[in-house]
Structure 1
Amino acid sequence: MTAKILTVDDSASIRLTTRVALSNAGYTVTEAVDGKDGLTKLQAGTYDLIVTDLNMPIMDGLTMIRELRKLPAHTGVPVIFLTTESDGDIKAQAKAAGATGWLTKPFDPESLVKIARKVLGR
């Protein structure tokens, strides 16, 4: 069974890049345009991994992670932050909220695939 990944980013080009990279690696990818959209999709289904941006309109990635960790079905789902932010304080906040890892934009799509494989074990 292929792993299901939810990508959450307000940038259409980043969503396209992540979808192509992860789909080509054999994963099933669903896209969300912001944290609120991401939560809606999480409540409607299950995912093996979430890749999210930090800075987005309507609901940012940190808030989304805090909210998804309140949902029993998603407490253990790994979350990778894919963002332009590299500030140590923000990384600490992300980890405290429940993020599993961090990848700074611009990113190499192969690096994203390697992280996904490592986190998912497949």
Structure 2
Amino acid sequence: MARILIADDDIILTEMLRFRLEGERHQVVCAADGMAALEATRTQDIDLVVLDSMMPIVGGPEVLAQMKANPATAKIPVVMLTARRSESDVIAALKGGVDEYLTKPFIPQELLLRISNLLARVGR
């Protein structure tokens, strides 16, 4: 069981992901904006982040940059789950340190498997 942060401002998507992840026995923390996501990574024991690119206050790329710049959060695996699908968006996210990049719409079971594989890689 892992503690997973879902950082996305889409409430319906967040609730669907929460339901699926809790069904896999994970604990889920939700943040509707980038500032809340950063706060959660700093104050809670987060094992993995599912991060949207376009969020209010602080966008996903900046959240990623701040996480990777902080030694306390730099090693947390990040799955970027976003509607942004241009080559430059994907390349920038991968260069920034995301572990997986999925575009919306997505296959929920694929996301769960990618999360499971990432958690296994980091020993969670």
TM-score normalised by length of structure 2: 0.93
- Name the SS for the 1:74 alignment partner: coil
Amino acid at match of 2:26: Y
Distance between the aligned counterparts of 1:91 and 1:107, measured in 2?
A: 15
Q: Is this contact kept in 2: 1:10–1:34, CA < 8 A?
A: yes
Equivalent-residue separation in structure 2 for 1:99 and 1:46 (angstroms): 19
Q: Cα distance, 1:47 vs. partner?
A: 1.1
Name 2:58's counterpart in structure 1: 59
Task: Provide the rounded CA distance (Å) in 1 between the counterparts of 2:69 and 2:44.
Answer: 15
State the identity %: 31
> Quick one: distance in 1 between partners of 2:95 and 2:33?
20
Gaps of 5+ in 2: none
Q: Is 1:117 aligned with 2:104?
A: no
State the match for 1:32 in structure 2: 31
CA shift for structure 1 position 113? 0.8
The aligned counterpart of 2:78 is: 79
Q: 1:13 aligns to what SS in structure 2? A: helix
**Counterpart contact for 2:53–2:60, Cα < 8 Å:** yes
Off by >6 Å, runs of 4+ in structure 1 = none
